[in-house]
Amino acid sequence: MTKMNKALNEQINKEIFSGYLYLSMVPYFEERSLDGFASWFKAQAQEELFHAMKIFNFVHEVGGTVVLDAIEKPDIEWTSPLQVFKEGLEHEKFITASINELVDLARKEKDWPALDMLQWFVVEQVEEEANFSLHVDQLEMGGESGAALMFMNNKMAARVPLPLSADEE
């Protein structure tokens, strides 16, 4: 297995963990009747699994070997919505650093197809960090109780997860 193949497999694991982490945040919001936030995190979890599959499919398409590893258990306790989003932001910064390391490796290994595929992730990570950063800023400005929190909850409800069925691939 090449260095790039091994590193891409590690990134698949990180992306699946990202989905698992964001899914673990859903009950925190559901238990507080913040269904808009819960919906946002369900959609975020699905997006992370899409990212994992994008890399998974790429490894397969270039003739590499996909090897899935165990997924770490995420935290499940937070003290506030702000803490949840701060943890998400820190996690996205970790993922950005990991993608940047993959880009460096692809350049070093002269793996041009991987470098091309990874450029999509470079752009995506800018969006991911910006989204979490925006929500952190809004929670810090508006506070975590009362009207501001309900306004954010209603706004976040607009992002809904895709319906899943057994027929979908």
Given a contact cutoff of 8 angstroms between Cβ atoms, the answer to whether 116 and 54 are in contact is: no
Q: At what angle do helices 35-61 and 112-142 cross, to 10 degrees?
A: 170
Cβ 70 vs Cβ 9: under 8 Å? no
Nearest to 59 by CA among 126, 107, 13, 128: 13
Backbone angles phi, psi at 146, to 5 degrees: 75, -150
pLDDT higher than 80, residue 164: no
Banded pLDDT at 145 (limits 50, 70, 90): confident
Task: Set out the domains of the chain in order of their start, with CATH numbers.
Answer: 3-156 (1.20.1260.10)
CA distance 156 to 164: 20
Q: What is the pLDDT at residue 23?
A: 97
Cβ neighbours of 120 (radius 10 Å): 13
pLDDT single digits (tens) 34-85: 999 999 999 999 999 999 999 999 999 999 999 999 999 998 899 999 999 9
Burial class (CB in 10 A: 0-12, 13-18, 19+), 163: exposed
Confidence of residue 103 (pLDDT cuts 50, 70, 90): very high
Q: Can you count the helices (H) and strands (E) in the chain? A: 5, 0
- pTM of the entire structure? 0.91
Tokens of 5: 């193949």
Checking if the pLDDT of 105 tops 50, the result is yes
Rounded Cα–Cα distance for residues 85 and 98 (Å): 20
- Which is nearest to 88 in space by CA: 165, 29, 151? 29
In the predicted model, is pLDDT for residue 168 greater than 50? no
